[in-house]
Structure 1
């Protein structure tokens, strides 16, 4: 005790004789605090933000080389086709893939935007209305993808910076929007203003523009991914009495409606016709969707929790069709039970008429997750096309041929018509088995 008293007395005496030491200490602590608050934005900062916001941590690819990264190879076909959800869990780190096709695909997307702006981007009037939940969902997705996911997952490709690069930014920085709920002024001030894409040398504001269409246009031309944003019907329109909503029967699921989208690679449909429609209405053309999938899909959508990511992969064969196929060429009409007029399709391809170089296995990797703040659901689609010649060279010709036959031998025989197997099926099988 005497030693402690002596030490304190000595310290007080030192301070009295050296008053500037206190000033120096306070100044040092203040500068250290400023340094911590203003240090460069790091991946660790971003990852901690994702955890705080309800997202799982994102694993950075520090040595990622996009120019040597091959597209993911999916071969999801099976001997018999069964219509199921076929979902599997997805690591958030793999949510948005980038590979060596990235630059050429972005150029293709830009050309599609010039030719078909109202087809590749869609926004309901509600989603374009500032202050609506749908508008906030677009903003939440934009700021997550550009401000969090891309610079965290691909730190060598995307940088968070406070000034623009030499190239012009894609959207105006004159945005005084207040931001999403939960953001403080201090938080917003600390956020960098731009995302620099080192592949394209393009700088994009990380703060979402007020226009939802403008935000989606940016998203659709920064990544090679299509996005669909859905919200429950009860949360789209004018505010409703919460008690009335709570009185809904426990088994009555609230249907989700498509509020906004970017679909640069539509698979045989014009997404404009799907905008504002419910999930069940969107799937009307899919044979037996109502009886086999509708209820389970609605239940799954309603219960999907924040932080869980799921995926599924589909497949089809295309002949003479681009990635952009909004006006047909991939699906047929299964309304007549899988048969065309007279039991066959007028456009059946002859056995020797197949253009092998223009025939592809087309796969969509579809993912689903829930946004933490608005609770909107987000579908993402990444479309892959593989030359049919490659599938045969891999030794999978017979396996794919059996899967083509399996379209009419599974639980939904109408899929043979819906996927246009009646048109190209015999010709493609002959090539694969030849």
Structure 2
């Protein structure tokens, strides 16, 4: 466009400004406000999406860029193959890379829906906190773990699935929200319970546990050692030889979020020591109790361990808080025949268990991810005979009563017959 044409186009506006100079002020003000709004929007877009919050007390997390959760198959655990035909009760702990703490696969979204439904129908079974309002260390531990997972681990490990956003409130305070893109962009607060009293912290901790149920596909338990008593004033030094120290102190369950318990009601375990939690497990007191107490006491922050276990269940879903997984001599259950097996609901049930210590609160976090595989899949893989031998091995290891504890007298012969057919 030529200069004379531009001048002709602007002439009416120039005339209007000459007639009323305030128009020029309004135009300049509008342009200035528009420029300021655009610049702030651009700055907000750059700063609102973060990679992850710093967590210097935790190990660094290795990201999985371009990770596609929807096309990732669940891990195929086959722990019965490592038993050499006999089931020996051992800790069998292995190192766990911190970055591999939480797995993600194509069952994630549907299982979160299951977990949320269970939280609605069984809230006091799925989530629990032990103690009174004065027990602030439990609430602090829950909030510490929650903020690490939502603020650091998830957006750092799976940046294409979880995104962190910084948002300013009306009072100019900044909060961080985690966007879960696998769930249609659900937003979750990264921190809960800031600047609250003891009662508020307890409420916030329960909310954090409920949020964990809805965000991560992991059952999690928080344990603390027994409180140290003040030594009596006797004028003498404590006997170092008789002092159990951290390596011998008992650890107690203080809080949990567990939608998929395997044959136990977690609410009934609150406040119990490890020995009480595992009291129904045959051989625990003789084979594992002292070693577990010692391991928990000596576990250092930054050290992550894992183990796996297995059983076979019939007609029991992921939520098995009220039975159907474990058995006893006086249960009176009838032995199943092979033609009575429901192949859809008869599964190999495995847990990938992890344990680590939180750096600030010093709580020990025990967690597990549950996998189920139809026994028809095991047979199709050509592992039917191996699993059948492992079932026989339940009564041939160092704790023969494990065969009864896992209800093998009910399903064992029928499952073996199917696997070998």
Are residue 255 (structure 1) and residue 250 (structure 2) matched?
Answer: yes
CA contact (8 A) 2:48 2:167 kept: no
Distance 2:356 2:325 in 1: 27
Q: 1:197 aligns with which of 155, 159, 180?
A: 180
Matched, 1:355 2:358: no
Measured in 2, the distance between the counterparts of 1:415 and 1:354 equals: 22
Q: 1:134 aligns with which of 122, 133, 138?
A: 138
Would you say how many aligned residue pairs link Structure 1 and Structure 2? 359
Aligned partners of 1:160 and 1:192 also within 8 Å: no
Residue matched to 2:88:
82
Task: Work out whether 1:323 is the aligned partner of 2:323.
Answer: no
Asked if the contact 1:122/1:272 (under 8 Å) is kept, the reply is yes
Question: Deviations for 1:58-87, whole angstroms, at most 9, x for unmatched residues?
Answer: 111111001000001100013100000000
Distance of 1:327 and 1:259 partners within structure 2: 21
Query: What is the TM-score when the length of structure 1 is the normalising length?
Result: 0.78
The answer as to whether partners of 1:234 and 1:240 remain within 8 angstroms in 2 is no
Q: Once the 2 structures are TM-superposed, how far is the Cα of residue 125 of structure 1 from its aligned partner?
A: 2.8
| Rg comparison, structure with higher value | 2
Q: Which runs of 5+ in 2 are unaligned?
A: 1-42, 194-200
Task: Report the TM-score, using the length of structure 2 for normalisation.
Answer: 0.80
Correspondences of 1:8-407 after superposition (within 5 Å): 42-43=50-51, 46=53, 49-50=54-55, 52-53=56-57, 55-77=58-80, 78=83, 79-126=85-132, 129=133, 132-163=136-167, 192-200=175-183, 201-209=185-193, 210=201, 211=203, 212-234=205-227, 240=230, 249-251=242-244, 253-333=248-328, 339-340=329-330, 345-407=332-394
Cα-Cα RMSD: 2.6
Q: Cα distance, 1:251 vs. partner? A: 3.9
Cα offsets for 1:170-219 (capped at 9, x unmatched): xxx99x9xxxxxxxxxxx97x75211111222111111143211110001
Contact 1:230 / 1:256 at 8 angstroms: preserved in 2? yes
Q: Which residue of 2 aligns with 1:17?
A: none
1:103-147 Cα distance to aligned partner (Å, 9 max, x none)? 100111111011100000011134xx2672111111111111111
Return the alpha-carbon distance in structure 1 between the equivalents of residues 416 and 135 of structure 2: 54
Gaps of 5+ in 1: 1-34, 165-172, 177-187, 334-338
Flag as ranges the 4+ runs of structure 1 deviating above 2 A: 38-43, 239-252
Separation (CA, whole Å) in 2 of partners of 1:63 and 1:420: 43
2: distance between equivalents of 1:119 and 1:340? 26
SS in 1 for 2:399: coil
CA distance in 1, matches of 2:62, 2:371: 24
